């Protein structure tokens, strides 16, 4: 147990607040229980730490360059304060102003939320990861700059806080130590949302100060709007890749599978997270097989942005979110489709399915893949032989689909039917734990951030996966399938399996939901899921 | 920005060791980058993979799908890992001087 006390006001002091010590982390079950046999935690070179952000914990998710002069520092401070003030105006915060103000003004400081945070718990209760730590900093800033109270009273009531480079750089980093899973919000008796607070902090940095991780902004939303996809695929490349997938899969299943492009008036416009096409091609292939078998007319779009459902704006910037969501809507309207179906991607589902309602007028109906797959499995006359899925399966719940949207039962109903060895994790559904790669972390691995998301933010999920299979032979002889219907979660789970060597040690494999469904189809003669290829 | 040095090769790389300026790539750079994979000699098989990756990258501006790489080179994924121990993306693409893959991949 940690003994050093970190105060809220320490955020404004120079230097690190804490250090990651692998011995202090909650131990994992065997054979991962001895930290000395696990990969270490990379310490950043001294030069990096001196040139870049004041890190709160010796970790850098992104790293800001230190201001070169006093004037530059002043400029950053002024921008931060103006961004803070704008965050609390209706014109600038048309998405989340009300819940933000409620969260600022009504926290009773009961700390109930703390024990709900997997990062705080798994870190050995490291104070800087406590959900209320960064929230309390914003609260003090709010009562100092946005809704100023009498300074003497404030010191007594809310506590003071000083804005300087140390605070700005440490707070920027800290806004990327929470996966926005919002378990804390669900446990709060009042409804205070610390996940939202973290999200709103990121907005100040991005919208007003132009500071965001390059994976999310420059290589993410900006690249997507210019090139067409965060992966860098332009329309020509995506069509070429899908053609390759079609040919490859047709060869494997023995009948023709063909992706449809730009079909006007189709029932379904299918928008995948484009990462699926490059990294997990069996997923889009399985969708094509299943939609055709169900007799649904469907199409993909080859227009810029129309073939990539990614919307990283959800994680850090409302304006970028709106730009991408509007493109998706515009394309669906142009194609006159009946509805948009979001592929197996959590943040796409939430961005386009829920948050975009704040900006859409006359929107096209949208559906998550979970409910569509449920409908296809139970209502479209396709024959299944569940015994083809003869291996143990567990389900990872993507936070955005379950806790944020309430889509819980469809995917389980499907699994209970087509995967006889399906078992739940504990807890699951709305109480699930994040994979540890949420809010964009799965694609961030600069400096020593990969070590952080493997050892700390992903630790609870890795533990849960191992526990879900504890009644199975522990070794690699029995392949165990973690079903994760979300590209971001899959990326994180892949990294966890690689990092801990869990394919070799525990026989862990991972994939989506639709692949399991197609694997159980009677019409698919050979194996669709082939562990030798995974 | 980190600088990677090996012999008389000196290049800017990102935090993951990928080249910041892929246009500076040449065969000597490839050999230098291969050393990060504990590979100190590039065989014809290595070059077969590197050349395919570079051709594709020059044509399309991104790395090919892994499955496409295997099919077009005729090498299994296992074989690619033998040649480049960190695998196709973190190993082979890095040595071939491609930029780090982006998006949810």
**Model confidence pLDDT, tens digit, residues B44-63:** 999 999 999 999 999 999 99
Q: What is the dihedral of CA A256, A262, A263, A265, to 10 degrees?
A: 150
Contact A289, A249 (CB under 8 A): yes
Per the prediction, chain A carries an average pLDDT of: 95
pLDDT band at A11 (very low <50, low <70, confident <90, very high): very high
Interior/surface letters B67-79, b for 16+ CB within 10 angstroms, e for the rest: bbbbebbebeeee
Residues across chain B: 105
pLDDT digits (tens, 9 = 90+) for A499-527: 999 999 999 999 999 999 999 999 999 89
For residue B25, what pLDDT is reported?
95
Among partner residues A275, A279, A446, which is closest to B16 by beta-carbon distance? A446
E-strand stretches of A220-338: 268-271, 298-299
Shortest Cα–Cα distance, B94 to chain A (Å): 15
pLDDT band at B15 (very low <50, low <70, confident <90, very high): confident
**Residues of B annotated as catalytic (active site), given as ranges:** 104
Whether A2 has a pLDDT exceeding 80, the answer reads: no
pLDDT digits (tens, 9 = 90+) for A39-72: 999 999 888 888 887 899 999 998 888 899 999 9
Find, in chain A, the residue whose alpha carbon is nearest to that of B99.
A232
pLDDT digits (tens, 9 = 90+) for A235-267: 999 999 999 999 999 999 999 999 999 999 999
Q: Please state, in angstroms and as integers, the Cα–Cα distance from residue A408 to each residue in A182, A368, A414, following that order.
A: 16, 11, 11
Contact A252, A494 (CB under 8 A): no
Pick the CATH number of B3-95 from 2.40.50.140, 1.10.10.370, 1.20.1260.10, 3.30.420.270: 1.10.10.370
Contact B62 A215 (CB under 8 A): no
DSSP-assigned beta bridge partners for residue A508: A480
Shortest Cα–Cα distance, A447 to chain B (Å): 5
Shortest Cα–Cα distance, A491 to chain B (Å): 7
Q: Where are the domains of chain B?
A: 3-95
Measured between alpha carbons, how far is A387 from B97 in angstroms, rounded to an integer? 46
Whether A215 has a pLDDT exceeding 80, the answer reads: yes
pTM higher than the cut 0.90: yes
Measured between alpha carbons, how far is A214 from A188 in angstroms, rounded to an integer? 33
Q: At what angle do helices B66-73 and B44-60 cross, to 10 degrees?
A: 130
Shortest Cα–Cα distance, B46 to chain A (Å): 22
Measured between alpha carbons, how far is A194 from A213 in angstroms, rounded to an integer? 21
Chain B CB contacts of A237 under 8 Å are 60-62
Whether A3 has a pLDDT exceeding 60, the answer reads: no
How many Cβ pairs closer than 8 A exist between chain A and B? 76
Measured between alpha carbons, how far is A273 from A284 in angstroms, rounded to an integer? 10
Among partner residues B67, B101, B103, which is closest to A281 by beta-carbon distance? B67
Measured between alpha carbons, how far is A186 from A327 in angstroms, rounded to an integer? 32
Of A338, A347, A281, nearest to A309 by C-alpha is: A347
Contact A277 B15 (CB under 8 A): no
Contact A237 B104 (CB under 8 A): no
DSSP-assigned beta bridge partners for residue A65: A52
Chain A CB contacts of B102 under 8 Å are 215, 219-220, 223, 230-232, 443
The ipTM is 0.92
Find the chain B residues whose C-beta atoms sit closer than 8 A to any C-beta of A. Answer: 14-16, 60-62, 65-68, 71, 77, 101-105
Contact A446, B14 (CB under 8 A): yes
Among partner residues A231, A281, A447, which is closest to B103 by beta-carbon distance? A231
How many Cα neighbours within 13 Å face the side chain of A442?
28
- Any B CB within 8 A of A274 CB: yes
**Interior CA angle at A472 toward A467 and A477, to 5°?**
120
Q: Hey, what are A229's tokens?
A: 């996809």
Find, in chain B, the residue whose alpha carbon is nearest to that of A276.
B105
Of A44, A87, A61, nearest to A171 by C-alpha is: A61
Measured between alpha carbons, how far is A513 from A412 in angstroms, rounded to an integer? 10
Whether A473 has a pLDDT exceeding 90, the answer reads: yes
Among partner residues B14, B67, B103, which is closest to A230 by beta-carbon distance? B103
């Amino acid at each position: 147990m940690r003994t050093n006390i970190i105060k809220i006001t320490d955020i404004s002091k120079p230097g690190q607040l804490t250090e990651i010590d692998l011995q202090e982390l909650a131990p994992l079950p065997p054979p991962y229980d001895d930290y000395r046999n696990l990969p270490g935690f990379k310490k950043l070179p001294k030069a990096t730490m001196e040139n870049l952000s004041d890190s709160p914990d010796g970790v850098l998710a992104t790293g800001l360059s230190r201001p070169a002069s006093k004037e530059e520092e002043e400029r950053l401070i002024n921008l931060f304060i103006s961004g803070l003030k704008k965050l609390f105006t209706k014109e600038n915060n048309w998405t989340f102003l009300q819940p933000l103000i409620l969260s600022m003004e009504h926290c009773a400081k009961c700390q109930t939320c703390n024990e709900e945070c997997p990062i705080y718990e798994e870190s050995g209760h490291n104070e800087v990861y406590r959900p209320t730590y960064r929230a309390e900093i914003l609260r003090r800033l709010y009562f100092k700059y946005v809704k100023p109270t009498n300074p003497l009273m404030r010191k007594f009531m809310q506590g003071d806080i000083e804005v300087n480079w140390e605070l700005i750089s440490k707070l920027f980093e800290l806004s990327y130590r929470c996966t926005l899973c919002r378990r804390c919000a669900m446990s709060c008796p009042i409804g205070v949302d610390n996940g939202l607070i973290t999200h709103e902090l990121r907005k100040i940095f991005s919208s007003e100060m132009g500071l965001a991780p390059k994976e999310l902004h420059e290589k993410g939303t900006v690249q997507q709007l210019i090139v067409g996809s965060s992966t860098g695929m332009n329309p020509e490349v995506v069509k070429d890749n899908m053609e390759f997938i079609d040919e490859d899969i047709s060869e494997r299943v023995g009948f023709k599978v063909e992706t449809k492009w730009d079909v006007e008036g189709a029932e379904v416009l299918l928008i995948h997270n484009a990462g699926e096409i490059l990294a997990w091609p069996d997923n889009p292939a399985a969708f094509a097989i299943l939609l055709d078998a169900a007799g649904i007319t469907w199409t993909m779009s080859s227009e810029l942005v129309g073939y990539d459902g990614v919307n990283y704006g959800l994680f850090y910037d409302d304006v970028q979110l709106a730009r991408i969501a509007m493109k998706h809507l515009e394309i669906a309207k142009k194609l006159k489709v009946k509805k948009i179906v979001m592929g197996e991607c959590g943040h796409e589902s939430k961005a386009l399915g829920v948050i975009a309602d704040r900006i859409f007028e006359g929107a096209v109906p949208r559906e998550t893949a979970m409910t569509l797959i449920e409908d296809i499995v139970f209502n479209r006359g396709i024959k299944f032989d569940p015994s083809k899925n003869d291996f143990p399966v567990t389900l990872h719940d993507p936070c955005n689909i379950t806790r944020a949207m309430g889509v819980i039962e469809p995917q389980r109903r499907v699994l209970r039917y087509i995967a006889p060895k399906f078992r739940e994790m504990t807890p699951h559904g709305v109480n699930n734990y994040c994979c540890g790669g949420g809010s964009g972390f799965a694609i961030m691995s600069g400096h020593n951030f990969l070590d952080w998301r493997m050892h700390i933010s992903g630790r609870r999920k890795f533990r849960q996966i191992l526990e879900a299979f504890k009644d199975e032979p522990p070794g690699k002889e029995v392949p165990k399938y973690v079903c994760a219907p979300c590209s971001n979660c899959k990326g994180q789970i892949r990294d966890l399996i690689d990092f801990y060597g869990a394919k070799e040690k525990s026989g862990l494999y991972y994939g989506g939901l639709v692949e399991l469904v197609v694997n159980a189809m009677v019409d698919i003669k050979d194996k669709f899921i082939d562990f030798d290829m995974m | 920005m980190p600088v990677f040095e090996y012999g008389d090769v000196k290049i800017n790389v990102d935090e993951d060791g990928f080249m910041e300026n892929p246009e500076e790539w040449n065969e000597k750079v490839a050999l230098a980058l291969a050393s990060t994979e504990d590979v100190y000699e590039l065989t014809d098989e290595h070059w077969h993979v590197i050349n395919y990756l570079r051709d594709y990258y020059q044509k399309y501006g991104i790395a090919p799908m892994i499955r496409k790489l295997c099919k077009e080179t005729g090498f299994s994924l296992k074989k690619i890992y033998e040649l480049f121990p960190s695998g196709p993306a973190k190993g082979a693409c890095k040595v071939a001087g491609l930029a780090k893959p982006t998006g949810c991949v």
